[in-house]
Amino acid sequence: MSQFISDTSLLIIKNRTRTERILLVLSAIFLVLYASILSFAPVVRARSYDVDLRWTHWLGVLVWLLVFYFAHREISRRLPARDPYLLPIAGLLSGWGLLTIWRLFPNFGLRQTIWLLIAGGILVLGFRLKSDLSFLRRYKYLWLTGGLILTALTLIFGTNPLGNGPHLWLGCCGVYLQPSEPLKLLLVVYLAAYFADQMPFLLPTSGDKQDRQLSPNSLLPLLAPTFIMAGVTFLLLLVQRDLGTASIFLVLYATLVFLVTGDKRVLLITGVTLLLAGVVGYFAFDLVRLRVDAWINPWLDPSGRSYQIVQSVIAVANGGLLGRGPGLGNPTLVPIPHSDFIFAAISEEAGLMGGLGLILLLGLLAHRGLLCALNAMDIFQRYLAAGLTAFLIFQSVLIIGGNLRLLPLTGVTLPFVSYGGSSLVTSFVSLLILLHISSRSRASSPATRTLRPYMQMGMIFFVGITAIAVALGWWAFWRGPDLLTRTDNPRRAISDLFVRRGSILDRNNKSINASIGSPGDYTRAYLYPDLSSTAGYTNPIYGQSGLEASMDNIMRGLEGNSGLTIWWNHLLYGQPPPGLDVRTSLNIALQEIADQSFEGHHGALVLLNPVSGEILVMASHPSFDANRLDEIWGDLIQDTDSPLLNRGTQGLYNPGTALAPLLYAGAIEYDVLPDDPSMLQYNADDIFIVDCAGQVDESYSWDSVVSNGCREGIAGLGDALGSERMLDLYTSAGLFSAPQIRLPAESMEKPLRIDNPEMVALGVGVRFSPLQVALALSPLGSAGMRPGALLVAAIESPQIGWLPQEAVDEAGVVLSKGAAISTAERLRSTELPVWESIAVAVGVTNDDQAVSWYLSGTTPDWAGTPLVLVVMVEEQNPNLAKAIGMNIWKYYLLPPEDL
């Protein structure tokens, strides 16, 4: 029988050794593959072999292999019955963290490699200790007192390796120790030893000696001595302002008390205490207040006090499902990514799947740690294993929850993973103790009553780990697309350095905006700067505007490419595919004429096809040079002339009598045109200081009145149409809706009714953009139809070439064909085959801006492409407005072969 038991034990030991070896080999394979990808990441990112490969991190891989080879060999000899999962879990976590640190900052990677060698040496040597760990129990007061003394020394000799922040470290010359890290371990040792020593003096309720439960009457006598030691520790950390560690101490203390007593009120009291401490800390410490504010509403100040957490969740979102790939993300955009935010760094490059894999490892660590506790040979080791497991898991949940905005930031490290020698050594010593305890597991299960608090603790672990997994999925999957389009996401600009962004072209494929350079060095060039307010800009500091903003996904390659192409580029390069070119309807030759004509003046010009809605010219002055944003941004945003404003689509101006051609056509349409405009007398007091914008002929005919913007006659048109007809006419002409042309566009709200049509006919109480006016007058050149405006004419698909685009707004009937043609003929110019009208709007008050308009369009008998032209100048100078318009017409109408 004894031989059978011996053989069975030997078989179990061999199976455990084999399981551990297999898991360590799998971990090594993962890390070698990860390191290989890191080495060639520069090639993939630059899409070129003409780069320097990364090799230094292989030193870390080599040290990791040596540490865990000898650890496995030594533990197989010294602790053959240990838990076979603990060492591989710690190995994979520490190796993953090590390679991430090498990837982020090679100098810190070298230091972490040295610390891994030290921690591994302690682990291997520690296997020689007696597995009963009696020396920890015997000198419990000495261990904790030593830790407190070291921590207290930071109040006098403390420093911070970063040069700022709390002085929580001891050391110099590049070697530092953070005493609060081992202090957590020493507190657990002290409490486990103390409670175990007190158990013989307590009355048992059931089971053997080690399964005795605490009587409620003995609670205070038992806990009183621990209040002193734990209280001194807690107060010392508060004085240090190490509030994250203080919170962990409180949780660890409550955990061990709960496991000893089985009283759930301990957990409730601890929760309330943490909440009250948070409230007090919020008002007492600036650091706590800033972190709580950033946690509650990080979007309020995303570039200031909330920068860390906002960039952390954006990093997680950037990882998506599968991650950008090792070495292909931008985790260094998150402050302190190698320590406090290493989980965000891993999630960006390993994605949701990688982050869940790391969380799964923590779940497995919690499971195996609790098994060690439940199967421990004595009550001291049981409390010790449970306390150490709680320390590792609670701290992990706390820091990962902070990365994911599930919990406020605390500044603690992620055990085994984060950079830091003190943290790594403490984690490895905790692992060493757990391995010793697991090697002396008893065969029988603990009593049911003893088991219950541990099962409840396991449920708490499960809830915490599940919560961080759900939060990871929330940011990486559900909220990810929204976060990645934020203007404060610098990863977009970095991607533009490596992936060619699509160009913006005119109708003849002449470049307006284009990316020049090579992968890794692409820069955005604005080849026709006067169009900066329309074509826009994309800038890592100042964001995006114009077509660069509205067509961003197309020019970034995220739309227009097949889903397979996007997925493959994301998988292979961690980047989108090359962007698609966008062809506009603009004509650079005509645009140059318009921009040159506006030199020294403020205003806008819109030239469009009244049939198709294609915009050939969109001039806005003053403009700006998007190539010089870094130099001139401060001046731009303070300039009272508003050069950033696209006057053609966003500027709303008093039209004065600019809509007289539309009113004229409406009166003809409804057959309400008065017989003789000379008989109209309109007295608007002193609201307008000019009667006509131009010189009226002696006949004072309707054609002359409308062409020259005479207020008496045009007010009469408004009176003849009446309130209801005028509202319908303006509405059908699109004057109360913003044109949808993939640019920011403004519009006044549609009124319920027009109370005074005469005044509205003169532009009083209404404001329209030049583009709205151009679209409203388009029916005169398109047989009564108003088109939908079109600026983006085509997108170049990599599969089938240029794909024509349609206007977003639908075309609509405004006038009958007869009324439209008749009006255009009546307003025909004597010089060119165009109809035309001029207008002046002088402000109702002295503060209002004087505006002059030139309205024109090709006549119905024009054989070429029909056009409508609207010129607006911000001054009382109708002759200037007409002169600018005539420059366009002379170029377009006289030498068509040059277009």
Show the 3-state SS of 518-552. CCCCCEEEECCHHHHHHHCCEECCCEECHHHHHCH
The H or E element that residue 138 is part of is helix 134-138
Phi/psi of residue 51, nearest 5 degrees: -140, 165
Give the pLDDT score at 162. Answer: 60
Three-state secondary-structure class, residue 841: strand
Kindly tell me if the per-residue pLDDT of 217 is higher than 80: no
Query: Average pLDDT of 607-633?
Result: 95
In the structure, what pLDDT confidence band is assigned to residue 201 with cuts at 50, 70 and 90? Answer: low
Give the pLDDT score at 211. Answer: 46
Residue partners of 865: CB distance under 8 A and separation at least 6: 609
Contact 712, 691 (CB under 8 A): yes
CA 515/CA 496 separation, integer angstroms: 9
Q: Supply the angle between the helices 86-104 and 58-78 in degrees, to the nearest 10.
A: 170
Buried b (16+ CB within 10 A) or exposed e, 629-650: beeeeeebeeeeebbbbbbbbb
Kindly tell me if the per-residue pLDDT of 690 is higher than 60: no
Query: Average pLDDT of 871-883?
Result: 95
Kindly tell me if the per-residue pLDDT of 421 is higher than 60: yes
Angle at 709 between CA 706 and CA 711, to 5 degrees: 105
CA 452/CA 867 separation, integer angstroms: 84
Residue 694, token pair as written in the block: 């131009």
CA 358/CA 554 separation, integer angstroms: 35
In the structure, what pLDDT confidence band is assigned to residue 137 with cuts at 50, 70 and 90? Answer: confident
Q: Which class for 567: exposed (0-12), middle (13-18), buried (19 or more C-beta within 10 A)? A: middle
In the structure, what pLDDT confidence band is assigned to residue 753 with cuts at 50, 70 and 90? Answer: very high
CA 441/CA 26 separation, integer angstroms: 26
Which residues does residue 803 pair with via DSSP β-bridges, in sequence order? 795
Query: Average pLDDT of 153-171?
Result: 65
Contact 491, 483 (CB under 8 A): no
Query: Average pLDDT of 73-93?
Result: 95
CA 149/CA 141 separation, integer angstroms: 12
Kindly tell me if the per-residue pLDDT of 686 is higher than 70: no
- Ramachandran area for residue 560 (φ above 0: left; ψ -120 to 50: alpha; else beta): left
The 10 Å Cβ neighbour count of residue 741 is 26
Contact 233, 246 (CB under 8 A): no
Kindly tell me if the per-residue pLDDT of 516 is higher than 80: yes
Give the pLDDT score at 164. Answer: 61
CA 416/CA 420 separation, integer angstroms: 9
Give the pLDDT score at 39. Answer: 95
Q: Supply the angle between the helices 660-670 and 770-777 in degrees, to the nearest 10.
A: 30
Contact 893, 883 (CB under 8 A): no
Query: Average pLDDT of 734-740?
Result: 95
Give the pLDDT score at 730. Answer: 96
Three-state secondary-structure class, residue 697: coil
Kindly tell me if the per-residue pLDDT of 5 is higher than 50: no
CA 401/CA 355 separation, integer angstroms: 12
In the structure, what pLDDT confidence band is assigned to residue 38 with cuts at 50, 70 and 90? Answer: very high
Give the pLDDT score at 204. Answer: 47
Contact 650, 744 (CB under 8 A): yes
CA 131/CA 381 separation, integer angstroms: 10
Mean pLDDT lowest among 300-309, 454-463, 623-632: 300-309
CA 716/CA 660 separation, integer angstroms: 11
In the structure, what pLDDT confidence band is assigned to residue 303 with cuts at 50, 70 and 90? Answer: confident
Q: Of the candidates 750, 684, 752, which has an alpha carbon nearest to the alpha carbon of residue 718? A: 684
Contact 50, 391 (CB under 8 A): no
In the structure, what pLDDT confidence band is assigned to residue 425 with cuts at 50, 70 and 90? Answer: very high
Name the range with the highest mean pLDDT among 8-17, 95-104, 805-814.
95-104
CA 363 to chain centre: 29
Which residues does residue 585 pair with via DSSP β-bridges, in sequence order? none
Kindly tell me if the per-residue pLDDT of 424 is higher than 60: yes
- Three-class HEC string of 460-479: HHHHHHHHHHHHHHHHHHHC
In the structure, what pLDDT confidence band is assigned to residue 118 with cuts at 50, 70 and 90? Answer: very high
Three-state secondary-structure class, residue 832: coil
Kindly tell me if the per-residue pLDDT of 681 is higher than 60: no
CA 330/CA 491 separation, integer angstroms: 7
Give the pLDDT score at 167. Answer: 64
Give the pLDDT score at 237. Answer: 53
- Tell me the DSSP string of 7-75: HHHHHHHHHHHHHHHHHHHHHHHHHHHHHHHHHHHHHHHHTSSSSPPP-TTHHHHHHHHHHHHHHHHHH
Percent of the chain at pLDDT > 70 equals 86
Kindly tell me if the per-residue pLDDT of 160 is higher than 70: no
CA 466/CA 472 separation, integer angstroms: 10
The answer to whether the peptide bond before residue 622 is cis (omega within 30 degrees of 0) is yes
Mean pLDDT lowest among 56-70, 150-164, 232-246, 881-895: 232-246
CA 876 to chain centre: 47
Give the pLDDT score at 231. Answer: 62
In the structure, what pLDDT confidence band is assigned to residue 206 with cuts at 50, 70 and 90? Answer: very low
Q: Of the candidates 826, 807, 813, which has an alpha carbon nearest to the alpha carbon of residue 778? A: 813
- Ramachandran area for residue 405 (φ above 0: left; ψ -120 to 50: alpha; else beta): left
Kindly tell me if the per-residue pLDDT of 702 is higher than 70: yes
Query: Average pLDDT of 829-842?
Result: 90
Mean pLDDT lowest among 202-206, 432-436, 841-845: 202-206
The 10 Å Cβ neighbour count of residue 409 is 23
- Spell out the alpha helix ranges (H) of 733-875: 757-761, 770-777, 817-826
Give the pLDDT score at 845. Answer: 45
Contact 306, 462 (CB under 8 A): no
Mean pLDDT lowest among 83-92, 181-190, 508-517: 181-190
- Mean pLDDT for all residues in the chain: 86
Percent of the chain at pLDDT > 90 equals 58
Query: Average pLDDT of 847-868?
Result: 89
Residue partners of 10: CB distance under 8 A and separation at least 6: none
Mean pLDDT lowest among 83-92, 267-276, 665-674: 267-276
In the structure, what pLDDT confidence band is assigned to residue 149 with cuts at 50, 70 and 90? Answer: confident
CA 544/CA 532 separation, integer angstroms: 11
Kindly tell me if the per-residue pLDDT of 357 is higher than 50: yes
- Tell me the DSSP string of 855-867: EEEE-TT--S---
- In one-letter notation, the amino acid at residue 305 is R
Q: Of the candidates 612, 610, 613, which has an alpha carbon nearest to the alpha carbon of residue 662? A: 610
Give the pLDDT score at 683. Answer: 47
CA 342/CA 335 separation, integer angstroms: 10
